[in-house]
Amino acid sequence: MTELEAEPGTVRPGGRTARVRAAVLRAAGDALAEHGFAHLDLADVARRAEVGKTTVYRRWGTVPGLVADLLTEMAEGSLPRTETGSLLGDLRANARLVRRTLTDPRQGRLFQAILAAATCDARTAEALHRFYEIRVNEWAPCVSQAAERGEVPPGTDAAEVIRAVSAPLYYRLLTNAAPLDEAAEEQAARAAASAAAAGAFVPDARRADSSA
């Protein structure tokens, strides 16, 4: 697929076009945080970004296309992983980053809107999956390094450990069942680290447990 044939929202240009993309994606994020996916309108995004409507329609084509590009930008712009020298320390850093993102007034509402949209829109769901795949892959090496240090068993599924850190934090975000605070952050990191050290994320161990 050539650049001219590329799906809307997938081209990575430079110069003025890059500035237009940044303005449009910022406007789209603001609109999503304020009104949710159902009320996201390309014409309104163009107005907020102070660009022509035809530019937005030509470049992104649809609301899901725009949201997909927004998620790509968010994944690429996320902070890199932190190396502390221990698995618990690294998972604490991961949990801290997730919690601070989800409790940010703008980012928290933005993620809630995108998560809601992903339940009813296949393209948004696919884009969200890619976003988390990028972020999980960024942090997975801390588990591999922990295995080399003997903190977790060989064969520990690094991606599952990272998902285990963020899952309870997202649960709190979506259900408001409990505060999304520093105590929740610490609990999520400790629970994932303890389970990993006990071998809960070794695939062979899971299979053996299920057949016992």
The CA-atom distances, in angstroms, between 209 and each of 151, 153, 201 are 21, 16, 12
Compute the distance between CA of residue 30 and CA of residue 145 in angstroms, rounded to an integer.
38
Compute the distance between CA of residue 27 and CA of residue 8 in angstroms, rounded to an integer.
17
141-176 burial: b if 16+ Cβ within 10 Å, else e: ebbebbbeeebbbeebbbebbbbbbbebbbebbeee
Q: What is the pLDDT of residues 138-193, one digit of tens each?
A: 999 999 999 999 999 999 999 999 999 999 999 999 888 789 999 999 999 999 99
Compute the distance between CA of residue 194 and CA of residue 113 in angstroms, rounded to an integer.
32
Q: In 3D, which of 161, 162, 118, 109 has the Cα closest to residue 136?
A: 162
Collect contacts of 145-151 with beta carbons under 8 A, ≥24 apart.
145/83, 145/87, 145/90, 146/86, 146/87, 146/90, 146/196, 149/86, 149/87, 151/86, 151/87, 151/196, 151/197
Compute the distance between CA of residue 191 and CA of residue 88 in angstroms, rounded to an integer.
10
Q: Is pLDDT of 7 > 50?
A: no
Q: In 3D, which of 24, 64, 67 has the Cα closest to residue 48?
A: 24
Q: Please provide the average confidence, as pLDDT, over all residues in the chain.
A: 88
Q: What is the pLDDT of residues 189-207, one digit of tens each?
A: 999 999 999 999 999 745 4
